[in-house]
Structure 1
Amino acid sequence: MKNLGYYNGKFDELDKMMIPMNDRVHWFGDGVYDAGPCRNYNIFAIDEHVDRFFNSASLLDIVMPVTKQELKNLLNELVQKLDTGNQFVYYQVTRGTGVRNHAFTPGAGNLWVTLVPAEVSDGTEPIQVITEEDTRFHHCNIKTLNLIPSVMAAEHAKQKGCKETILYRPGGRVTECAHSNCHIIKNGKLFTAPTDELILPGIARAHLIRKCKELGIAVSETPYYLKDLMEAEEILVTSSSNFCLRVDKVDGISVGGKQPELFEKIRKAVVDEFITATNVEAGKIRTAS
């Protein structure tokens, strides 16, 4: 297959899949999701992503229809069905199916999976971003399907020829991007927003922090502000699609570029981790066995 969609045990190419109209996702966006890259049929950091997925569901009292191990087994089976082993693996659970009612639909949720061919950026090309006030609610730590503010912020960036939108709260505190985490390097130290209710605890963020510590680079998980952003030695953007990108313009103003060797050391460390973890062609091994 070139791509794949899965819904509660049924799967086919994406444009052939049909979803019941009474799935609560249609009425309320009532669900959570997670996603990550797959290379050589190896799903990267699957344990961390599945743990966060289940945590998001728990925080919204959504009943999972599978166990963690059942989900991991299913995802590893589904990636085998694509023609390429380099994919982006997305999965979500919605609260259930029932006639529209704000009160919860009883029972287990509905499990969705989509698989599409994808490559992970190596982060060597810098990106341009814009800034915008963060109008999202105070549950940003939960990876919910209610993404309208993020969708609008991403569209505003696209309209201005930029890759991302860095969001800030009243008072100028930088939180994260429309669909990424954001970090700065100041005095050779990595600063990243704390994992409170204002940001998603990104898996790529966690790997970035771990690699910085391994490299002897100090890390501070403390709030920072727009002034800090504009004066930073480097601005980094991380996500499961782009492990470590460097920003060279914010709102059309040149920024960063003051610690190129340090950035390259960090970029190489996180990308090499991904390459090493996914080098074995697991799909061929599993097929042969």
Structure 2
Amino acid sequence: MKELAYYDGTIAAPEELKIPFNDRVHFFGDGVYDASVGGNHRIYLLDDHLDRFYSSANALDIRIPMEKKELGELLTDLLKKVEGETHFVYWQVTRGAAPRNHAYDSEMTGKLWVMIRPNRLRDPEVPISLITAEDTRFLHCNIKTLNLLPSVMASQKAEQKGAQETVFHRGDMVTECAHSNVSILKNGIFLSHPNDQYILRGISKTHMIEACYRLGIQVIERPFTLTELMEADEVLVTSSSNFCLHAKEIDGIPVGGKDPVRLSRIQKEVIEEYLRYTGKSSLFDDVV
């Protein structure tokens, strides 16, 4: 198959799959999700993503219809059915299907969704443009819910301005991006927002921090300001499908470019971890 969709045990092409009208996702966005890159038909950092997926579901009292090991095996088997060598692997669980009502049956079993499609990784050596926006989302950003409208609107605004991502801030405090984490390098130190309710702790960000430790680069997890963002030596943007990008401008103002050697070392370390994990020979050699 070129693309695959799965819903509650049924496998089909995305345009062929039918979803029950009463699935609570349609009325409330009632569910959580996770996603990763599939390289060489292996899901990158699968255990990390499954841990976060189950934590998000538990936080919202959603019952995933299978145990973690079984879900990992299912995702791996589904990935093998899709053509190509580099993929976007997405899965979500909704609370289930029932007549519309805000209150729910606590014994309801969730409905599992999976979507797998070819993916192209962005070249980490090519800098990206960012914009900023006030963070008006709710106070549960640490849960990876399906309620993404603020991020959708922020991403669209970035697209319209020719940028690739939006950096959120609450007042003067930088939190994260619309669908990524943002960190900075300053005076040889890697700075990133701490793991709290204002951000989703990205798995790629976590592994970048581990890469910094291996490289002997000091890491400080604390809130940083818009001024610190604009004055950073380098601005790094990470997500599960783009591990280590860096910015060249924010709101049309040039940023970064002051610590390219340290930036390159971090990027190299992160990419090599991905290549070791998946067994791929390079980041782009067989991208569909």
TM-score above 0.5: yes
Q: Which amino acid aligns with 2:265?
A: K
Structure 1 residue 41 displacement after superposition: 0.4
Report SS of the residue matched to 1:265: helix
> Counterpart of 1:145?
146
1:79 and 1:85 in contact (8 A); partners too? no
Structure 1 residue 60 displacement after superposition: 0.4
> Counterpart of 1:128?
129
Matched, 1:203 2:203: yes
For 2:148 and 2:120, the matched residues in 1 are separated by: 24
Q: Please list every run of at least 4 consecutive aligned residues from structure 1 whose deviation after the TM superposition is greater than 3 angstroms.
A: none
> Counterpart of 2:191?
191
For 1:262 and 1:122, the matched residues in 2 are separated by: 17
Q: Which amino acid aligns with 2:207?
A: H
Structure 1 residue 72 displacement after superposition: 0.3
Matched, 1:15 2:12: no
Q: Which amino acid aligns with 2:126?
A: E
Q: Which amino acid aligns with 2:142?
A: N
For 1:280 and 1:65, the matched residues in 2 are separated by: 32
Deviations 1:123-158 (A, max 9, x none): 110000000000100000000000000000000000
Structure 1 residue 107 displacement after superposition: 1.3
Report SS of the residue matched to 2:2: coil
The count of residues paired between Structure 1 and Structure 2 equals: 280
Structure 1 spans left out of the alignment, 5+ residues: 282-289
> Counterpart of 1:285?
none
Report SS of the residue matched to 1:237: strand
Structure 1 residue 83 displacement after superposition: 1.3
For 1:121 and 1:214, the matched residues in 2 are separated by: 24
Structure 1 residue 272 displacement after superposition: 1.1
> Counterpart of 1:217?
217
> Counterpart of 1:286?
none
Structure 1 residue 280 displacement after superposition: 6.1
Q: Which amino acid aligns with 1:46?
A: L
Instruction: Indicate the larger mover: 97-106 or 189-198.
Output: 97-106
> Counterpart of 2:100?
100
Deviations 1:225-262 (A, max 9, x none): 10100110000000011100010100000011000111
For 2:240 and 2:120, the matched residues in 1 are separated by: 11
Report SS of the residue matched to 1:92: strand
Report SS of the residue matched to 2:143: coil
> Counterpart of 1:59?
59
Aligned runs of 1:246-257 on 2, under 5 Å?
246-257=246-257
Structure 1 residue 122 displacement after superposition: 3.6
1:65 and 1:109 in contact (8 A); partners too? yes
For 2:187 and 2:72, the matched residues in 1 are separated by: 41
Structure 1 residue 277 displacement after superposition: 0.9
Structure 2 spans left out of the alignment, 5+ residues: 282-288
Q: Which amino acid aligns with 2:148?
A: L
For 1:94 and 1:20, the matched residues in 2 are separated by: 12
For 1:104 and 1:204, the matched residues in 2 are separated by: 34
Matched, 1:169 2:170: yes
Structure 1 residue 84 displacement after superposition: 1.2
How high is the TM-score relative to the length of structure 2? 0.96
Matched, 1:279 2:283: no
